[in-house]
Amino acid sequence: MIDQRLLPETFTVVSYRAHAEVARAITDMVVRGAPAIGAAAAFGLALAGFESRAQTVGELLSDLQAAAVTLKAARPTAVNLAWAVDRILDYVLRFSGSSVDDIRAFVLAEAQRLADEDVEVNKRMAAHGAELIADGDTIVHHCNTGALATVDWGTALGVIRMAWEQGKRIHVLVDETRPRLQGARLTAWELEQYGIPYEIISDNMSGYFMRAGKVQKVLFGADRITANGDVANKIGTYMLALAAKDNGIPAYSVAPTSTIDLSLAHGGLIPIEERAPAEVLDIQLAGERVTPRNAKARNPAFDVTPNRLITGIVTENGVAYPPFEVNLAKFVNRNS
């Protein structure tokens, strides 16, 4: 994995040999982004297969199920994590008549397939989403949703990249995305690679630029989308979408169907992770303290944007529009 905590200062690739290390890397946000942690967990499960000393298929499946619990507990909000792990478990259960070594190989192969599909899915999403972007658009983008947040290409940032490659002149206002600065650190770094013009703003500034008439689109990813189209995503998405609505600016969530959780009726049912206060208090991760010595902080990592603030949800199968209760399920790929 690229250690995303060190960007943009240094580009460091780290390797893991045990699923518990992968789970820890997900929790600590070495890797982050809903699709990326799904793929990471899939390979974590493959590692668990090779770690296992199982002599029988039953023992191996039991070890895989234990590893699945560990991996799924690494972070609670993004559904892609559980989706990826469950998909692989479901897959290998079909082969319980095979050998232990075969099943180890099947887990790895399915993890690789899942990762490869993510790139394919992202490009299809990008093509659908790029149709929504006009030449000359200034786009507010929240958090990081690019190649770093996925296996490659990205979700919302993938749409921006596709529109740019189509020759549309676009400008990105990059929400810095406190507290961990995924926008200022990661999205800015990616946009530098792609040569797409951008400026960084603090999260509380996007409304100012919208009111000034400078913003035509708002794009973000999703960590979990419920059956009614409520979107759990990085903290700050709700206030951003609210400002877009207040200014008549379309706000799109860009996410693969693996992010859609039809088992939950609405966003109030999504578990919201609350992370360590130090991320808020120290400004820099494990860095400089800028707040009073005894200060306390809160640190919810996600919020839920109600469906009334979402213009459309861009998936690999097309763009879903309200009423999401009716239209979203049509886009979910039931074969995956």
Q: In angstroms, what is the minimal distance from the CB of 81 to a second copy?
A: 21
Q: In angstroms, what is the minimal distance from the CB of 313 to a second copy?
A: 20
Contacts of 229 by beta carbon, 8 Å cutoff, 6+ apart: 307, 310, 313, 320, 322, 324, 325, 328
Place of tokens 């879903």: 320
The angle formed by the CA atoms of residues 39, 43 and 48, to the nearest 5 degrees, is 145
- Is the CB of 163 or the CB of 200 nearer to a second copy? 200
Q: What whole-number distance in Å separates Cα of residue 229 and Cα of residue 224?
A: 9
Diameter over CA atoms, the chain: 67
Helix axes 57-72, 19-27, angle to 10 degrees: 10
- Is the CB of 166 or the CB of 299 nearer to a second copy? 299
Q: In angstroms, what is the minimal distance from the CB of 181 to a second copy?
A: 6
- Is the CB of 206 or the CB of 311 nearer to a second copy? 206
Q: Which residues bind a second copy (CB under 8 A)?
A: 8, 173, 175-179, 181, 184-185, 188-189, 192, 198-209, 211, 235-236, 238-240, 242-243, 246, 272, 277, 280-281, 283-284, 287-288, 290-300, 303-304
135 an active-site residue? no
Q: Which amino acid is at 68?
A: A
DSSP string, 77-95: S-HHHHHHHHHHHHHHHTT
Q: In angstroms, what is the minimal distance from the CB of 301 to a second copy?
A: 10
Whether 305 and 241 have beta carbons less than 8 Å apart is answered as: yes
Q: What whole-number distance in Å separates Cα of residue 175 and Cα of residue 187?
A: 9
- Is the CB of 150 or the CB of 187 nearer to a second copy? 187
Q: In angstroms, what is the minimal distance from the CB of 99 to a second copy?
A: 49
Catalytic residue among 223, 230, 261, 303: 223
- Is the CB of 122 or the CB of 237 nearer to a second copy? 237
Return the DSSP state at 240.
H
Cβ neighbours around 242 below 10 Å, total: 16
Residues with catalytic roles = 223
